[in-house]
Every structure is written in C-alpha cells, then in structure tokens.
Chains A and B, each alone.
Chain A
Amino acid sequence: QKEVEQNSGPLSVPEGAIASLNCTYSDRGSQSFFWYRQYSGKSPELIMSIYSNGDKEDGRFTAQLNKASQYVSLLIRDSQPSDSATYLCAVKRRGGSYIPTFGRGTSLIVHP
C-alpha cells in the first residue's frame, strides 16, 4: 500500500469550474500536509500547507484536511487554463523523518 495516494488523472474540467484534487494517506501519525503545483518541464512550487482539520483558503485555492478519514484535498475555484499542471500532495509525520512523502501527483487539464 502506497503511503500517499493520488489519482493520476488526468482530471479535465472546463474553464471557470471548480477542480477538486484528492489525496489519501496511510500513516495516522501524519501531521503536516502540502500541495505543490508542477508545470510540465518545471520544478514543483508550493501552493499551500495545512496542519489542522478543516479548510484553509488562499485566493482561489482551498485546502481541506480530514485527519479522521485520512484525506486532504485541494479545491481550485474558477479554474483557468493556466492552472493546468500536475498537483503533488506531500505529507509529513510527527516524530519520524523530517522528509515529506510525496504522492505521484494528479494531472489537471482546464479546457477553455
């Protein structure tokens, strides 16, 4: 069983719609959660981090964390073609390695 799982996609949404990206993790000791965006041929860039249950909003992005159900999601409102990229979920656990575990990423395509 993979520690951090993401649907590889591609997830295709029309411009202006809400894109919902999901990530599940297996380690109940996980404490910190990160979303990265990676454009083709570029390196990952941090979008958001979340540490507590609930929602965290930053502009068009909302991260949602549910530790009981062991999932974290990223919502992108008013999706734009420029949001087309691969989104990586990363998870850190408390008390263990300080290195996050990355999921394989979900490819998002926003079509005009």
Chain B
Amino acid sequence: SAVISQKPSRDICQRGTSLTIQCQVDSQVTMMFWYRQQPGQSLTLIATANQGSEATYESGFVIDKFPISRPNLTFSTLTVSNMSPEDSSIYLCSVASDRGITDTQYFGPGTRLTVL
C-alpha cells in the first residue's frame, strides 16, 4: 500500500483565517480524496481531487470554502478558508491506486484542526 503523509498533523487556528493541508504520497496514484471526520462521527467525503482540473465536490461542500489543488499524481492540498469553530475536525487525505471496483482506499494520518 502507498505511504501517505499529511502536514500539518494538527493546528489551532483563529476564526476567519485559512489553513492549507498538504498530502504527499510515495507513489503515483490515480485517485486522491479529502474527507472530514468530526468527533464521534463517521467519514464525510469533501471532494475528489482531480489532477489538472477542478476537484469534484460532494453535496454541501463548495470550492470557495474548500479549494483543492492537485498538481500531479503524488500531491494534493486542501485549504479550509475563512474558518469557524464548526470547521474543527480531523481532515483526512485518502488515495486509491486506480478507480477499479477492487481498488482499495488508504488513508493518511490526518490533520486535527481546532478553530477558536
């Protein structure tokens, strides 16, 4: 399986500011995703990061709030913009080598964000 790293691992931010989270994979992968997991809750998919084109956002998530970049097959960033305390969550990068039915998703270690 791919080795996935995320930076920062955690951060405490002030309301109204923005934070960019980086996700780096040690091998080329077709699919990269960003999830959010609030305390005690399951995973919520924010968007699929597409190389060379705009990300595909799930219902309830918009590009202005969560801009995503994916310049190549091993790297992606998620920005949480104009943060509020409701954005406090764990943000997870996830990858899959391809988009086949048996291709497995693997998760990075996560970024724990607290917004004051």
Binding site for B on A (CB under 8 A): 31-32, 34, 36, 41-46, 49, 51, 88, 90, 92, 94, 98-100, 102-105
Contacts and interface: CB of A to CB of B under 8 A. Distances in A.
A101 B42 CA distance: 11
Contacts of B13: none
A51 B33 contact: no
Interface in B5-64: 31, 33, 41-43, 45, 48
A93 to B, nearest CB: 8
Contacts of B92: 43-44
Contact of A46 (B1, B41, B101, B110): B1
B109 interface: yes
Given A31-B101, A34-B104, A42 B43 contact: no
Contacts of A98: 31, 96, 99-101, 103
Nearest to B92: A43
Contacts of B104: 34, 46, 49
Contact of B45 (A34, A42, A99, A103): A99
Contact of A43 (B102, B103, B107): B107
Contacts, number: 48
B84 interface: no
B105 interface: yes
Interface of B: 1, 31, 33, 41-43, 45, 48, 90, 92, 96, 99-110, 112
Contacts of B31: 98
B39 to A, nearest CB: 10
Nearest to B98: A98
Given A92-B101, A98-B96, A98-B100, A44 B33 contact: no
B108 A43 contact: yes
Given A92-B101, A98-B96, A43 B42 contact: no
Contacts of B102: 32, 49, 51
B100 A44 contact: no
Name the residue in A41, A51, A102 with the highest tally of chain B Cβ atoms < 10 Å from its Cβ: A102
Nearest to B100: A98
